[in-house]
Structure 1
Amino acid sequence: MKILVAGATGKTGLRLMNELKSKGHSTVALVREKSDTSGLPKDTELRHGDLTDLQDDVCDGCAAVIFAAGSGGSTGPEMTEKVDRDGAQRLIDIAASAGLSRFVMLSSVGAEDPDPDSELGHYLQAKHEADERLKASGLSYAIVRPVSLTDDDGNREMAFGDDVDVKGKAARGDVAAVLAQAVDDPKWTNKVALMQSV
């Protein structure tokens, strides 16, 4: 399957690209002009674009999309809205118009019911609105909501849904493995799930 990945050069995205390659998928990395692509697998196709200004043909030739991008913890509310909400929603709309087979969203614990007074309230609201757009898009989707991320590779032992401790941790390697599985596993069709590493 040919898969477009937004956020391919990020901490989770790089792990995801290797997971997809190990599963035999063909990968397309959506990258900005000045992105450091040195960590991507050698045969990765690069597609230049910016989540704040996506072109209508960004999904051309792809069967699925995985959104693993984020504005980052050091950006303000405006960039959070442009990337985590507006960029995600625009990519969802383009994917829906193109008739893609699956859209996988990397979301966050707390996005199901954002607390506006929490430290991450603005970010979680942006993720919530993106998730809701995806659920209403008509696309086959999967939404993965990990708890607090660590930079560990993990051991592929994970808990989901009601078994998740919302104050637990999720290794980026485990998250990447779940995203790669969700792109074509029927068990993930139109599923929203919390996850953590155990």
Structure 2
Amino acid sequence: MDILIAGATGKTGLRLVEQLKTNGHAPIALVRESSDTGSLADDVTLRRGDLTDLKSGVCEGCDAVIFAAGSGGSTGPEMTDKVDRDGAKRLIDLAAEAGVSRFVMLSSAGADDPDPESELGHYLQAKHEADEHLKASGLDYAIVRPVSLTDDDGTREMRFGDDVDPQGKAARGDVAAVLATAIDDDQWTGKALLMQSVLAGD
């Protein structure tokens, strides 16, 4: 499948691109004019687009879309809203217009019921609103909600749903593998699941 990836140059996105290629898909990286694409392989197709101002047609010709982007921990609430909420919602709408077969969302643990008093309350509310927009879009979807992320590759041993320890960790390599699987695995259709990596001693 031709799969558009928002966030392809990020820490999880770069792993996702390679995982999709391993799985036989053709990743298309959605990148801003200012994006550093030097870490992407030369055979990855680039498509210009800014999540804060997406133009119509950005999803045309794509079989599926994966949202793995984020405004980053150093940005304020305004950019969180522009990218994690409004950018995601706009991309969902454009994917629906283009008739893509599936939309996979990288969300977060806690996005199902955000605590406004928590340190991540604003971010989780933005993710929640994007997730709910996806659920109501009419698209086939999957929502992956990892617990606290690490930069490890992981072991591909994971837990999902009620088996997840909210205080556990999720390796970015494992998250990328799950996102790549969710794109065409019917077991993920219409699901929003917590995930964590299984580490030594778990």
Asked whether the two chains share a fold, i.e. TM above 0.5, the reply is yes
Q: What is the match of residue 144 of structure 1?
A: 144
2:16 counterpart of 1:16: yes
**How far apart, CA to CA, are the structure 1 residues paired with 2:130 and 2:41?**
28
Q: Which runs of 5+ in 2 are unaligned?
A: none
Q: What is the match of residue 59 of structure 2?
A: 59
Q: What is the match of residue 3 of structure 1?
A: 3
> TM-score under structure 2 normalisation?
0.97
Q: What is the match of residue 174 of structure 2?
A: 174
Runs of 4+ in 1 over 6 A off after TM superposition: none
> Is the CA contact 2:164–2:195 (under 8 Å) kept in the aligned structure 1?
yes
**How far apart, CA to CA, are the structure 2 residues paired with 1:166 and 1:55?**
37
Q: Which runs of 5+ in 1 are unaligned?
A: none
**How far apart, CA to CA, are the structure 2 residues paired with 1:24 and 1:38?**
22
**How far apart, CA to CA, are the structure 1 residues paired with 2:41 and 2:139?**
28
Q: What is the match of residue 131 of structure 1?
A: 131
**How far apart, CA to CA, are the structure 1 residues paired with 2:56 and 2:14?**
25
> Is the CA contact 2:61–2:98 (under 8 Å) kept in the aligned structure 1?
no
SS of alignment partner, residue 132 of structure 2: helix
SS of alignment partner, residue 24 of structure 1: coil
Amino acid at match of 1:84: D
> TM-score under structure 1 normalisation?
0.99
Amino acid at match of 2:76: G
**How far apart, CA to CA, are the structure 2 residues paired with 1:180 and 1:40?**
17
User: What's the C-alpha RMSD, in Å, of the aligned pairs?
Assistant: 0.5
Q: What is the match of residue 112 of structure 1?
A: 112
SS of alignment partner, residue 127 of structure 1: helix
Pairwise CA distance, 1:42 = 2.0
1:106-130 CA deviation, whole Å, 9 max, x = no partner? 0000000000000000000000000
Q: What is the match of residue 188 of structure 1?
A: 188
Q: What is the match of residue 33 of structure 2?
A: 33
1:64-86 CA deviation, whole Å, 9 max, x = no partner? 00000000000000000000000
SS of alignment partner, residue 3 of structure 1: strand
**How far apart, CA to CA, are the structure 2 residues paired with 1:74 and 1:162?**
31
Pairwise CA distance, 1:41 = 2.2
**How far apart, CA to CA, are the structure 2 residues paired with 1:182 and 1:88?**
18
Equivalent pairs: percent with the same residue?
78
1:105-155 CA deviation, whole Å, 9 max, x = no partner? 000000000000000000000000000000000000000000000000000
